[in-house]
Structure 1
Protein backbone atom coordinates (compact mmCIF):
# COMPACT_ATOMS: atom_id res chain seq x y z
CA UNK A 1 0.00 0.00 0.00
CA UNK A 2 1.53 3.32 -1.07
CA UNK A 3 0.68 6.39 0.97
CA UNK A 4 1.42 10.09 1.02
CA UNK A 5 0.97 11.44 4.52
CA UNK A 6 2.14 14.86 5.70
CA UNK A 7 4.26 15.23 2.55
CA UNK A 8 5.99 11.93 3.29
CA UNK A 9 5.75 8.88 1.05
CA UNK A 10 5.44 5.46 2.65
CA UNK A 11 5.13 1.95 1.29
CA UNK A 12 3.39 -0.38 3.72
CA UNK A 13 3.18 -4.14 3.47
CA UNK A 14 -0.33 -4.88 4.69
CA UNK A 15 -2.92 -7.61 4.72
CA UNK A 16 -6.17 -7.11 2.83
CA UNK A 17 -7.97 -6.35 6.09
CA UNK A 18 -5.37 -3.76 7.10
CA UNK A 19 -5.55 -2.16 3.65
CA UNK A 20 -9.36 -1.99 3.83
CA UNK A 21 -9.10 -0.20 7.17
CA UNK A 22 -6.34 2.21 6.12
CA UNK A 23 -8.16 3.19 2.93
CA UNK A 24 -11.02 4.51 5.06
CA UNK A 25 -8.65 7.20 6.33
CA UNK A 26 -8.47 8.78 2.86
CA UNK A 27 -11.63 10.67 3.80
CA UNK A 28 -11.42 10.87 7.61
CA UNK A 29 -8.80 11.51 10.29
CA UNK A 30 -10.80 9.79 13.04
CA UNK A 31 -13.11 6.80 12.80
CA UNK A 32 -15.00 4.81 15.39
CA UNK A 33 -15.08 1.04 15.59
CA UNK A 34 -18.72 1.09 14.43
CA UNK A 35 -17.90 3.30 11.43
CA UNK A 36 -15.05 1.02 10.41
CA UNK A 37 -17.23 -2.07 10.83
CA UNK A 38 -19.93 -0.71 8.55
CA UNK A 39 -17.49 0.77 5.99
CA UNK A 40 -15.37 -2.37 5.61
CA UNK A 41 -17.91 -5.14 6.32
CA UNK A 42 -15.24 -6.85 8.45
CA UNK A 43 -16.57 -8.64 11.52
CA UNK A 44 -15.99 -6.79 14.77
CA UNK A 45 -13.81 -9.58 16.22
CA UNK A 46 -11.39 -9.52 13.28
CA UNK A 47 -11.49 -5.73 13.06
CA UNK A 48 -10.42 -5.36 16.70
CA UNK A 49 -7.39 -7.58 15.99
CA UNK A 50 -6.51 -5.61 12.84
CA UNK A 51 -6.83 -2.29 14.66
CA UNK A 52 -4.70 -3.46 17.58
CA UNK A 53 -1.91 -4.38 15.15
CA UNK A 54 -2.13 -0.97 13.47
CA UNK A 55 -2.01 0.74 16.87
CA UNK A 56 0.96 -1.42 17.92
CA UNK A 57 2.74 -0.42 14.67
CA UNK A 58 2.00 3.23 15.59
CA UNK A 59 0.08 3.88 12.38
CA UNK A 60 -3.13 4.54 14.31
CA UNK A 61 -3.66 6.00 17.77
CA UNK A 62 -6.39 4.79 20.14
CA UNK A 63 -6.65 7.43 22.88
CA UNK A 64 -10.42 7.25 23.33
CA UNK A 65 -12.46 4.09 23.63
CA UNK A 66 -13.45 2.81 20.18
CA UNK A 67 -11.97 5.88 18.40
CA UNK A 68 -9.01 5.46 16.07
CA UNK A 69 -6.98 8.40 14.73
CA UNK A 70 -4.12 8.56 12.26
CA UNK A 71 -0.87 8.96 14.15
CA UNK A 72 0.60 12.39 13.38
Structure 2
Protein backbone atom coordinates (compact mmCIF):
# COMPACT_ATOMS: atom_id res chain seq x y z
CA UNK A 1 0.00 0.00 0.00
CA UNK A 2 1.13 3.48 -0.83
CA UNK A 3 0.30 5.94 1.94
CA UNK A 4 2.36 8.83 0.57
CA UNK A 5 -0.70 10.43 -1.06
CA UNK A 6 -3.10 9.84 1.83
CA UNK A 7 -1.90 12.68 4.09
CA UNK A 8 -2.47 15.52 1.60
CA UNK A 9 -5.87 14.05 0.75
CA UNK A 10 -6.83 13.80 4.43
CA UNK A 11 -5.63 17.36 5.06
CA UNK A 12 -7.66 18.60 2.10
CA UNK A 13 -10.76 16.78 3.36
CA UNK A 14 -10.28 18.18 6.87
CA UNK A 15 -9.91 21.70 5.50
CA UNK A 16 -13.07 21.34 3.41
CA UNK A 17 -15.02 19.98 6.37
CA UNK A 18 -13.83 22.84 8.58
CA UNK A 19 -14.86 25.40 5.99
CA UNK A 20 -18.32 23.85 5.64
CA UNK A 21 -18.86 23.66 9.40
CA UNK A 22 -17.74 27.26 9.96
CA UNK A 23 -20.04 28.43 7.18
CA UNK A 24 -23.09 26.71 8.66
CA UNK A 25 -24.36 29.76 10.63
CA UNK A 26 -24.23 31.86 7.46
CA UNK A 27 -26.14 29.19 5.52
CA UNK A 28 -28.73 29.15 8.30
CA UNK A 29 -29.09 32.95 8.05
CA UNK A 30 -29.67 32.65 4.30
CA UNK A 31 -32.29 29.97 4.88
CA UNK A 32 -34.03 32.06 7.54
CA UNK A 33 -34.14 35.06 5.20
CA UNK A 34 -35.66 32.91 2.44
CA UNK A 35 -38.25 31.52 4.86
CA UNK A 36 -39.15 35.04 6.01
CA UNK A 37 -39.80 36.01 2.38
CA UNK A 38 -41.91 32.87 1.81
CA UNK A 39 -43.99 33.62 4.90
CA UNK A 40 -44.48 37.23 3.89
CA UNK A 41 -42.57 38.64 6.87
CA UNK A 42 -40.10 40.34 4.53
CA UNK A 43 -41.14 41.92 1.24
CA UNK A 44 -39.75 40.10 -1.78
CA UNK A 45 -37.30 42.45 -3.45
CA UNK A 46 -34.37 41.59 -5.69
CA UNK A 47 -32.51 44.68 -4.51
CA UNK A 48 -33.04 43.84 -0.81
CA UNK A 49 -32.07 40.21 -1.40
CA UNK A 50 -28.88 41.28 -3.15
CA UNK A 51 -27.97 43.70 -0.37
CA UNK A 52 -28.62 41.00 2.22
CA UNK A 53 -26.47 38.48 0.34
CA UNK A 54 -23.62 40.98 -0.07
CA UNK A 55 -23.72 41.99 3.59
CA UNK A 56 -23.77 38.39 4.74
CA UNK A 57 -20.90 37.50 2.41
CA UNK A 58 -18.84 40.43 3.73
CA UNK A 59 -19.59 39.35 7.30
CA UNK A 60 -18.54 35.78 6.49
CA UNK A 61 -15.29 37.02 4.92
CA UNK A 62 -14.53 39.28 7.89
CA UNK A 63 -15.40 36.63 10.46
CA UNK A 64 -13.82 33.53 8.95
CA UNK A 65 -10.94 35.05 7.01
CA UNK A 66 -9.07 32.33 5.10
CA UNK A 67 -11.74 29.74 5.98
CA UNK A 68 -14.52 31.74 4.33
CA UNK A 69 -15.98 30.30 1.18
CA UNK A 70 -15.25 31.92 -2.14
CA UNK A 71 -18.02 32.73 -4.60
TM-score class, shorter: 0.3 to 0.5
Structure with greater strand percent = 1
* TM-score, normalisation: structure 1: 0.35
Structure with greater helix percent = 2
* TM-score, normalisation: structure 2: 0.35
Which has the higher relative contact order, 1 or 2, with Cα contacts under 8 A spaced 6 or more apart? Answer: 2
Q: Which has the larger radius of gyration?
A: 2
